[in-house]
Every structure is written in C-alpha cells, then in structure tokens.
Amino acid sequence: MNPLFYTWWWPRIDASVPIVLMLHSVAEDIVSPITPNNTVRPCELENLVERLRTHGYVFQTLLEAMEKPCRRAVVLTFDDGCRDNYDVLFPIVRRLQLKITCFVTGQGERTPAFLTPAQMQEMDASGYVEFGGHTVRHITLTDVPPDVARSEIRDNKSRLEDILGHPVSSFSYPCGRYTPAIVEEVRAAGYRLAVTMDKRMRPFSVDPYRIHRQILPRGMDGFAAYLLATRGRFRL
C-alpha cells in the first residue's frame, strides 16, 4: 500500500485509555469462509504485538485494564473460543508472555471446533488468559425472548465458573447486539464489565457494560494494523 495513504499523522488514542482490540481465530487458513476477516495469521498477530511493544504499549486482560490500568494498555480479546485459540494462539501467548481475554460459549462441549473444558483450564492456569462469557449457544440476544436471553447469559457464566473454579467477570455481546434490557441482564448476572463491537476507544468508566473495541481484520501489514489499533484508522 502506498505510504501516503497511511494516517501516521493522526493523533494516537490517549495513553490513559485502554485500547481494546477484537479478534477471533488465529490460523494460517481461513476458519470460516462466511467471515474470512475473523481469522488473522499468526505472523500478523506477532508483528502487531512487536510494534506495539516497541512503542511502549503494555498488554493486559480486560479485568486488569479496569482494575489497574497501565498507561498505553492494550487488551487483546478473542470471541467465540475457537479451537485454534489453544492450538495456535496459546503457544504464542506463552512465548511472548501476552495477557489476553477470551470470550467463550458452551459449544466446546458439543463440537471439536471450540475449546474444551480441559484446554480452558490449562490456559486459565497459565496466568496469561482471562476467560469471559459469550452465551451458551452464541445466540444473538436481541433475537430471542427475554427469558431465553437471561438463561443464555446466566447459564454460560455458571458453567464457565464450574469449569474454571473461580468467578468470571467479563462478557461479550454476540454479534455486538444489545439493548438496555440485555445490558441490565448482564449486570444482574454478576458480570462486572462487557464489550461491544462499537468503535472509538473511551475510558471504561464511561460505561463498563458498553466497552468499545476496534476490530482487526485479516491481511493488514504490520504498520497498518498498528495505526488502526492506536489511532482507530489507518488511511483517509
């Protein structure tokens, strides 16, 4: 890409505001042809991490960024709990000593495409991975009756806590869809914070149940991904 298209001059997000990035799978091949941008290559993720660290950014879990935020904090979040989060992502996390947050459903107990309880326990025990809820069946909460939404939120949290043996504090709205009533259900279930697919970073204190995230697509070179992560855009 022509460097003139890069908005390198665009001001960075304020250092006091945690940058929350949204990813899904980490694999060489595209996991889902329906959502190809949801699969980033391992080298793309590693290049981004290297650039961010070079510029003084620190990786935290979502809960850490709320309780004890560092200046220039970055939170890498991974939705759905895909199997490659264990096979591909977890070795990168350990080697680079990254802190990440994974939002998982209950699908891992029904299909090998998702994390199993044993894999989650190993990742959780490493100290690098925070797990959060994402409903039982990855259901769009705005498309179901209130009682179904409530059980999807609460049953997912209860099952995760049974697997991990400790409280789960974070939640991700599937497909980024939510209403004030759904936000209240998440709060009532005992979650302390929740992430959306809304962009434009802002302090968690603005609304801990509507935390904005920047989506990182597949195929971006390291510099473009760095600009998108730290500025919210990378070209005009």
Rounded to two decimals, what is the model's pTM? Answer: 0.94
Using the CB atoms, write b or e for 184-214: b if 16+ within 10 Å. ebbeebebbbbbbbeeebbebeeebbbbbbb
* Residue 46 CB neighbours (<10 A): 16
What is the average pLDDT across 84-89? 97
Query: CA-to-CA distance for 99 and 93, rounded, in angstroms?
Result: 7
Q: Is the pLDDT of residue 7 over 70?
A: no
Mean predicted lDDT score pLDDT of the chain: 93
User: What is residue 216's predicted lDDT score, i.e. its pLDDT?
Assistant: 93
User: What is residue 5's predicted lDDT score, i.e. its pLDDT?
Assistant: 52
We find that the CATH architecture of domain 16-229 is Alpha-Beta Barrel (3.20)
- The structural domains of the chain, with segments of one domain joined by +, span 16-229
User: What is residue 9's predicted lDDT score, i.e. its pLDDT?
Assistant: 64
Residues 174-220: tens digit of each pLDDT: 999 999 999 999 999 999 999 999 989 999 999 999 999 999 999 98
Residues 114-126: tens digit of each pLDDT: 999 999 999 999 9
To the nearest whole percent, how much of the chain has pLDDT over 90? 83
